Amino acid sequence: MSLAPQIAEAVMKGKNKDAAALVQKALDAGEPPADILNKGLIAGMSVIGERFKKNEVYVPEVLIAARAMKEAMKVLQPKLVAAGVKPIGTAVLGTVKGDLHDIGKNLVGMMLEGVGIKVIDLGIDVPPEKYVDQAVANNASIIGVSALLTTTMTNMKSVVEAVKAKGLKGKVKVMIGGAPVTQAFCDEIGADGYAPDAASAADLAKKLIGVK
């Protein structure tokens, strides 16, 4: 009997200790680390993501679920590495230059990790070149740019231009989001994708990476 459903349940309920203990128990029972990750942790976070999209759960529930997943990952990560299980992709995230808001970005980071994407978080007030340099350094295929203000969202265009200037257009996809951002703005600046919320951002990232 796989413990994956119980692990998913523990993540959904935000039970840190239970999630970590169940992962250990599953490992001790010889369950493959990839199954524990995909059918347990990621499955649980995916349900939370779907519910978040439908407004059935809110930010606090997402935060506690993500925290439970993080605790469980501490137990699982070394085994994943040993088994050669790699993330489905890498994303570099940051709040755009001039903007000091990070709650939305942090939520997106959690959701991306929740679907198996490795996240490099650059923090707030990130200059365009830094996104690109870090994407190259970490072999990332996605740059995620967040803005909360209409005055700072115009700086997103500089990130798209910095990617083009480095000859990375098409190789590194730029996805954008934040309260004032729209699909029309995304099209206007030539970004590769727009997500209205953190759960949609995870779906978009998978699509941009080419994972179903």
pLDDT tens for each residue of 1-57: 899 999 999 999 999 999 999 999 999 999 999 999 999 999 999 999 999 999 999
Taking all residues of the chain, what is their mean pLDDT, rounded to a whole number? 96
CATH 3.40.50.720 fits 4-82, yes or no: no
pLDDT at 85 (0 to 100): 93
* Per-residue confidence band for 151, with pLDDT thresholds at 50, 70 and 90: very high
Q: Distance between CA atoms of 112 and 109, rounded to whole angstroms? A: 5
pLDDT at 211 over 90: no
User: Of how many residues is the chain composed?
Assistant: 212
Rounded Cα–Cα distance for residues 17 and 52 (Å): 23
Mention the CATH class of domain 89-209. Answer: alpha beta
Residue 102 pLDDT class (50, 70, 90 cuts): very high
pLDDT digits (tens, 9 = 90+) for 155-185: 999 999 999 999 999 999 999 999 999 999 9
Residue 186 predicted with pLDDT over 80: yes
Following DSSP, what letter does each residue of the chain receive, concatenated?
--SHHHHHHHHHTT-HHHHHHHHHHHHHTT--HHHIIIIIIIHHHHHHHHHHHTTSS-HHHHHHHHHHHHHHHHHHHHHHHHTT---SEEEEEEEBTT----HHHHHHHHHHHHTTEEEEE--SSB-HHHHHHHHHHTT-SEEEEE--SHHHHTTHHHHHHHHHHTT-BTTBEEEEESTT--HHHHHHHT-SEE-SSHHHHHHHHHHHHT--
Contact 102, 93 (CB under 8 A): no
Name the residue ranges covered by the structural domains of the chain.
4-82, 89-209
